[in-house]
Homo-oligomer: A and B are copies of this chain.
Amino acid sequence: MTNDAPAPAMPKLADFLCFAVYSANLAYGRAYKPILDALGVTYTQWIAIVALWEEDGLTVGALGERLFLESNTLTPILKKLEVLGYVVRRRDPADERQVIVTLTPAGRALREMGAQRTLVQASGLTPDDFRRLQRDVTRLRDNLIQSVGHAAADPEPA
Protein backbone atom coordinates (compact mmCIF):
# COMPACT_ATOMS: atom_id res chain seq x y z
CA MET A 1 0.00 0.00 0.00
CA THR A 2 1.76 3.14 -1.17
CA ASN A 3 -1.00 5.45 0.05
CA ASP A 4 -2.91 4.67 3.21
CA ALA A 5 -4.65 8.07 3.41
CA PRO A 6 -6.31 8.41 -0.03
CA ALA A 7 -7.44 12.03 0.34
CA PRO A 8 -10.59 12.61 2.37
CA ALA A 9 -12.74 14.70 0.01
CA MET A 10 -12.55 12.54 -3.13
CA PRO A 11 -16.12 12.10 -4.40
CA LYS A 12 -17.34 8.70 -5.47
CA LEU A 13 -18.70 7.89 -8.90
CA ALA A 14 -22.22 7.62 -7.48
CA ASP A 15 -22.01 11.26 -6.37
CA PHE A 16 -21.39 12.62 -9.86
CA LEU A 17 -24.45 14.19 -11.42
CA CYS A 18 -22.81 13.81 -14.83
CA PHE A 19 -22.52 10.07 -14.27
CA ALA A 20 -26.15 9.84 -13.17
CA VAL A 21 -27.17 11.56 -16.41
CA TYR A 22 -24.75 9.50 -18.49
CA SER A 23 -25.87 6.18 -17.09
CA ALA A 24 -29.56 7.16 -17.18
CA ASN A 25 -29.10 7.92 -20.85
CA LEU A 26 -27.61 4.47 -21.41
CA ALA A 27 -30.52 2.94 -19.51
CA TYR A 28 -33.02 4.87 -21.63
CA GLY A 29 -31.33 3.63 -24.76
CA ARG A 30 -31.75 0.05 -23.64
CA ALA A 31 -35.33 0.56 -22.49
CA TYR A 32 -36.26 2.19 -25.79
CA LYS A 33 -34.53 -0.40 -27.94
CA PRO A 34 -37.41 -2.92 -28.18
CA ILE A 35 -39.91 -0.17 -29.03
CA LEU A 36 -37.68 1.43 -31.64
CA ASP A 37 -36.70 -1.91 -33.11
CA ALA A 38 -40.38 -2.58 -33.68
CA LEU A 39 -40.60 0.77 -35.49
CA GLY A 40 -37.41 0.07 -37.42
CA VAL A 41 -35.58 3.28 -36.47
CA THR A 42 -32.84 4.29 -34.04
CA TYR A 43 -33.27 6.70 -31.15
CA THR A 44 -31.75 9.69 -32.92
CA GLN A 45 -33.80 8.99 -36.05
CA TRP A 46 -36.88 8.83 -33.85
CA ILE A 47 -36.38 12.17 -32.09
CA ALA A 48 -35.73 13.77 -35.47
CA ILE A 49 -39.14 12.54 -36.62
CA VAL A 50 -40.77 13.74 -33.39
CA ALA A 51 -39.23 17.19 -33.84
CA LEU A 52 -40.40 17.38 -37.45
CA TRP A 53 -43.90 16.34 -36.46
CA GLU A 54 -43.92 19.23 -34.04
CA GLU A 55 -42.64 21.65 -36.66
CA ASP A 56 -42.28 20.45 -40.22
CA GLY A 57 -40.21 21.87 -43.04
CA LEU A 58 -37.22 22.82 -40.88
CA THR A 59 -33.76 23.36 -42.28
CA VAL A 60 -30.99 21.04 -41.13
CA GLY A 61 -29.64 23.80 -38.94
CA ALA A 62 -32.99 24.62 -37.35
CA LEU A 63 -33.62 20.94 -36.67
CA GLY A 64 -30.15 20.71 -35.16
CA GLU A 65 -30.94 23.56 -32.77
CA ARG A 66 -33.93 21.65 -31.46
CA LEU A 67 -32.04 18.36 -31.15
CA PHE A 68 -28.73 19.91 -29.99
CA LEU A 69 -26.91 18.32 -32.91
CA GLU A 70 -24.73 19.65 -35.73
CA SER A 71 -24.98 18.97 -39.43
CA ASN A 72 -22.11 16.47 -39.26
CA THR A 73 -24.31 14.24 -37.08
CA LEU A 74 -27.66 15.06 -38.65
CA THR A 75 -26.81 14.73 -42.33
CA PRO A 76 -26.18 10.96 -42.33
CA ILE A 77 -29.24 10.40 -40.14
CA LEU A 78 -31.52 12.44 -42.40
CA LYS A 79 -30.16 10.67 -45.47
CA LYS A 80 -31.01 7.36 -43.88
CA LEU A 81 -34.50 8.56 -43.00
CA GLU A 82 -34.90 9.64 -46.62
CA VAL A 83 -33.88 6.19 -47.86
CA LEU A 84 -36.40 4.70 -45.42
CA GLY A 85 -39.06 6.97 -46.94
CA TYR A 86 -39.86 8.96 -43.79
CA VAL A 87 -38.53 12.38 -44.83
CA VAL A 88 -37.76 14.36 -47.96
CA ARG A 89 -34.65 16.56 -48.23
CA ARG A 90 -34.62 19.36 -50.78
CA ARG A 91 -32.59 22.50 -51.25
CA ASP A 92 -34.42 25.73 -50.50
CA PRO A 93 -34.92 27.43 -53.89
CA ALA A 94 -34.68 30.83 -52.20
CA ASP A 95 -31.28 29.91 -50.65
CA GLU A 96 -29.57 26.93 -52.20
CA ARG A 97 -27.26 26.58 -49.21
CA GLN A 98 -30.08 25.42 -47.00
CA VAL A 99 -31.71 22.00 -47.03
CA ILE A 100 -35.35 21.77 -45.98
CA VAL A 101 -36.48 18.54 -44.35
CA THR A 102 -40.12 17.46 -44.57
CA LEU A 103 -41.97 14.48 -43.13
CA THR A 104 -43.63 12.16 -45.64
CA PRO A 105 -47.06 10.63 -44.90
CA ALA A 106 -45.17 7.47 -43.90
CA GLY A 107 -43.10 9.53 -41.48
CA ARG A 108 -46.22 11.04 -39.93
CA ALA A 109 -47.76 7.57 -39.67
CA LEU A 110 -44.65 6.31 -37.89
CA ARG A 111 -44.86 9.16 -35.39
CA GLU A 112 -48.42 8.22 -34.61
CA MET A 113 -47.58 4.55 -34.18
CA GLY A 114 -44.78 5.41 -31.77
CA ALA A 115 -47.04 7.61 -29.69
CA GLN A 116 -48.90 4.51 -28.54
CA ARG A 117 -45.91 3.15 -26.64
CA THR A 118 -44.42 5.16 -23.82
CA LEU A 119 -41.98 4.54 -21.03
CA VAL A 120 -43.62 6.62 -18.32
CA GLN A 121 -44.38 3.39 -16.51
CA ALA A 122 -40.81 2.13 -16.83
CA SER A 123 -39.54 5.33 -15.22
CA GLY A 124 -41.24 4.23 -12.00
CA LEU A 125 -42.31 7.81 -11.31
CA THR A 126 -45.65 9.36 -10.55
CA PRO A 127 -46.88 11.80 -13.23
CA ASP A 128 -46.01 14.71 -10.93
CA ASP A 129 -42.49 13.45 -10.23
CA PHE A 130 -42.07 12.71 -13.91
CA ARG A 131 -42.90 16.28 -14.88
CA ARG A 132 -40.78 17.75 -12.13
CA LEU A 133 -37.76 15.67 -13.06
CA GLN A 134 -38.27 16.46 -16.74
CA ARG A 135 -38.27 20.15 -15.92
CA ASP A 136 -35.24 19.95 -13.62
CA VAL A 137 -33.11 17.96 -16.06
CA THR A 138 -34.04 20.34 -18.85
CA ARG A 139 -32.97 23.28 -16.71
CA LEU A 140 -29.71 21.53 -15.90
CA ARG A 141 -29.08 21.04 -19.61
CA ASP A 142 -29.78 24.69 -20.37
CA ASN A 143 -27.52 25.84 -17.54
CA LEU A 144 -24.69 23.65 -18.81
CA ILE A 145 -25.08 24.91 -22.35
CA GLN A 146 -25.12 28.50 -21.18
CA SER A 147 -21.96 27.99 -19.14
CA VAL A 148 -20.20 26.45 -22.14
CA GLY A 149 -21.31 29.38 -24.27
CA HIS A 150 -19.93 31.80 -21.71
CA ALA A 151 -16.60 30.05 -21.59
CA ALA A 152 -16.40 30.22 -25.38
CA ALA A 153 -17.40 33.87 -25.43
CA ASP A 154 -15.02 34.83 -22.67
CA PRO A 155 -11.42 34.13 -23.71
CA GLU A 156 -10.05 34.69 -20.20
CA PRO A 157 -12.30 33.01 -17.59
CA ALA A 158 -9.61 32.88 -14.87
Interface of A is mostly: helix
The copy count of this chain in the complex is 2
Question: Distance (Å) between the CB of A103 and the closest chain B CB?
Answer: 10
A 130-157 contacts with B by CB, 8 A = 130, 133-134, 136-148, 151
Question: Which residues from B are CB-within-8-Å of A125?
Answer: 140, 143
A50 to B144, CA, bound (A): 22
Number of interface residues of A (CB under 8 A): 68
Please list the residues of chain A having a beta carbon within 8 angstroms of any beta carbon in chain B.
2-3, 6-7, 9-28, 30-32, 34, 43, 47, 50-51, 53-54, 66-69, 105, 108, 111-112, 115, 119-125, 129-130, 133-134, 136-148, 151
